[in-house]
Amino acid sequence: MLAEIWTGCKCPNAETWNVGTYTEFDNDKDYKIPYCTICMSTNIIPKKNENGLQCMHGLTDDEIFWENENDEER
């Protein structure tokens, strides 16, 4: 299982794959705002490689377990 890597947060190496979203409403429009679930920073953007492709992180068995637990709670 892979997760997208995001950059710009306050975590070590300014990278995270622990990303959530929240919704802001403005003038009858919904905006999905991504944020780091560890440091709560909203100043994140997808990390791209030199070819412009999204960088990915291979999840460990523990990370997959916790991702599945969090999905079941939603």
Q: Tell me the H-state helices in 1-74.
A: 61-73
Task: Please report which confidence band the pLDDT of residue 71 belongs to, taking 50, 70 and 90 as the band edges.
Answer: low
The model's pLDDT over 15-52, given as tens digits with 9 standing for 90+, comes to: 998 899 999 998 889 999 999 999 999 999 999 999 99
The domains of the chain are located at 2-73
What's the whole-model pTM score?
Answer: 0.71
CA distance 38 to 35: 9
CB-based contacts of 34: which residues, under 8 Å, 6+ apart?
Answer: 6, 19, 20, 21, 42, 44
The model's pLDDT over 46-65, given as tens digits with 9 standing for 90+, comes to: 999 999 999 998 888 887 77
CA distance 71 to 19: 13
